[in-house]
Amino acid sequence: MSKISRRDLLQYIGAGGVGTGAGYLLAEAIKRPVEFLIPPVVPPEDYAPGTATWYNTVCNQCSAGCGISVRIREGRAKKIEGNPVHPVNQGRLCARGQAGLNALYNPDRIRSPLKRVGERGDGAFAAITWDEALTEVASRLARLKVDDQASRIQLLTGHVRGHLDALFEQFITLLGSDRYAQHDFTYPANLKLANRLSFGIEHLPYYDIANSDYLLSFGADYLGTWLSPVHFSLGYGKLRQGRDHRGKCVQIEPRMSLSGANADEWIAAVPGSEGVLALGIARILVAQGTYAGTDRDTWRRALEAYNLDWVSEASGVAPERIEQIAAAFGGSKAGLAIAGGAAAAGTNAVASLVAVNVLNHLAGNLGQPGGIIFNGAPAFGSATRHAGLTQMTELAVAMQEGAIEVLLLHDTNPVYALPDASGFADAMATVPTVVAMSSFMDETTALADLILPTDMYLEAWGDDAPEPGVGLPVASISQPVVARVYDTRSVGDIVLSLARQIGFELPAAMPWSSTEEFIKDGWRKVYEDLDPQAGGTDFEKFWVTTLEAGVWGQANAPAESGDALPPSLIPGIDDVSASFAGDAGEFPFILHPYLSATLLDGRGANLPWLQELPDQLTSVVYGSWIELNPTTAGELGIRDSDLIEVESPAGIIRAPAFLFPAIEPGVVAMPFGQGHSAYGRYAQNRGVNPIQLLAMQSDQQSGELAWAGTRVKLRNTGERARVVRNHGVTRTLGRQILGPEQNHA
């Protein structure tokens, strides 16, 4: 693959700025060198002995939409790197993206269509042919359509963007059903709702960390798991290098994250108090004259209740520290406030996120470099069918009541990702036919009657328009870079095959013979919208160059302009204070689960590279642990590696204790990701799943699962459980390597 200089990269994608000046076709940045191929006697397609070929496609290991370049040699994928001209990741890639090879060649992939032969859930399946599988599914769907019962068909997928989302919606609509939903534990529904309430925008804005000089984060682990961590890591690097001075980062959260460990200041705050603290800082900005708008007096009255003493008591942050933050944030040239993690996952999540938006408004950074840049509309539609806890609970009730006869599943695992109290697993048992389109036998797929194995993203056609964007419309085509490893099919091909077999109006309305043809037809419309006068005459060139580059961007596209926040927003939002399930007397500790930088919400637990990768802050591998402040542990007589029992109003789990100084006393932290009862040899029966502890708490406005809204109590079992980790101790053991004032052990 040819190299591209940093200067060329900046020229083509406007890296490090606010998205202006990007090239119309990023494909022009890559020119493949001429190679002479010497084929073997019967060569595989695109194979040359001794010669590596790089293909550009899109990473699907999380929802960030990074571009990747895959090294192919002898017909096999050997290495995955970041695509250097993709504006999201600019040649970089995280560990999850690198581990895509583990997903492709995983020995636990489902290798052929399967049909249940025993009781549902006992794991007894028999291999069948694709013709048998598709015929059986199509006949059941057709029967419901004929009987005018198509509304009893439910399609439930993971988070899907791009044209595949449009294909799903078209398919279920043509069947005569409106039951299409997406469920993804990591979907930022609360953030999207808060931005809609604040600015009147439907799409996530661009958080211009790179050009900020004061980054104030309320729990957003932008270096690890928040939205697009590779892109934000690049922005963090530019912020640190500085233009005329080095930018400063302040992290406020109950438990230190990777971003907190790399911040200039880490401030421990009471869980759920982030919104109150943000409005307390906002009150100081208005009082000190940082905000000089004509409605300043109205803002002063709206924020009057958030006085310094009350905010300090509620948040646990000293008054002088709050005043220092307000002065530094208000006095910065390009201050930026962001929020995520547990702050975006409590019963007050939307209200807290609105409060952080208020900070940005009062600081005057909306639409400014180093602030919040409003993206334009994506190149093609983004998914709008997300189902949160409220919608998933309603679906479980519908299944229990017999309203669902066929449940079609794709790339989603609600049996693992929802609290047991949701009743989703029990509700699935009442559905006559469950069809799973999946690559792995996860907890939800194991309850299916028919399993249609799907291609991995390195074997399939698709596309993506990442969200949040980068300040300009960007889209990528995902192409197969290797031949199929097993007898699988892409989910798009499965849907198109079912449409042809079902008949009626479906074949005429969905005439594409393959996913590739469907994706290409969608991109033809994108091209024609860009240049209506061209009549598609140069589309083939557009298609090939975009495919080779792995990304396309449109310069000078109009951006949305967010509405100015009205002061009436403050009394109009619900209580900014958080509530927690469980009586504080019986359950004295607040549970603080967090997304793992490697396993994320558990989707990476079946990949051995990620299981082996030490956690960045604790260095633990292959297991679960419970983090406690040493003060809290000492009061309970708990030592490092003691096996402790954690009980909430919803459930009980056991895991070893890990004494972690960088956590607020009274807080119990656990990473998501482990505790699978299925999902392959690397994930199964390893660690515990903290989702089992979560009460059925939801955000007051969005109905999303409030996974940071549960109290727990602890019991030392008296047993020991070795924690496997790759480090020594965090104490100086009396050697005074650090000065006495720095040795906090």
Q: Distance between CA 316 and CA 666 in Å, rounded?
A: 12
493: part of which helix (H) or strand (E)? helix 491-502
Q: Given a cut of 60, is residue 743 above it in pLDDT?
A: no
Average pLDDT estimate for 118-124:
92
Say how many C-beta atoms besides its own lie within 10 A of residue 647's C-beta.
18
Strand order from edge to edge, sheet including 433-438: 125-127, 114-116, 450-453, 433-438, 406-410, 153-157, 180-182
Which H, E and C letters describe 567-587, residue by residue? Answer: CCHHHHCCCCCCCCECCCCCC
Q: pLDDT tens digits for 562-604?
A: 667 888 787 766 578 899 999 999 999 999 999 999 999 999 9
User: 383 vs 265, which has greater pLDDT?
Assistant: 265
Can you give the pLDDT at residue 723? 84
Average pLDDT taken over every residue of the chain: 90
Tokens representing 252 are: 């406020």
Q: Distance between CA 202 and CA 191 in Å, rounded?
A: 11
User: 574 vs 461, which has greater pLDDT?
Assistant: 461
Can you give the pLDDT at residue 442? 98
Can you give the pLDDT at residue 52? 87
> Which amino acid type is present at position 516?
E
User: Could you tell me how far CA 203 lies from the centroid of its own chain?
Assistant: 15
Average pLDDT estimate for 360-375:
93
Can you give the pLDDT at residue 30? 44
Burial class (CB in 10 A: 0-12, 13-18, 19+), 621: middle
Can you give the pLDDT at residue 43? 58
Instruction: Please give the C-alpha separations between residue 467 and each of 83, 217, 298, 319, 380, in angstroms, as whole numbers.
Output: 18, 20, 34, 37, 11
Average pLDDT estimate for 382-395:
90
User: 536 vs 98, which has greater pLDDT?
Assistant: 98
Q: Distance between CA 521 and CA 526 in Å, rounded?
A: 9
Are 379 and 467 a contacting pair, CB within 8 Å?
A: no
Residue 577 CB contacts under 8 Å (≥ 6 apart), including other chains? 272, 273, 275, 276, 314, 348
Q: Distance between CA 66 and CA 450 in Å, rounded?
A: 32
- What whole-number percentage of the chain has pLDDT above 70? 88
Q: Given a cut of 60, is residue 129 above it in pLDDT?
A: yes
Q: pLDDT tens digits for 263-299?
A: 999 999 999 999 999 999 999 999 999 998 999 999 9
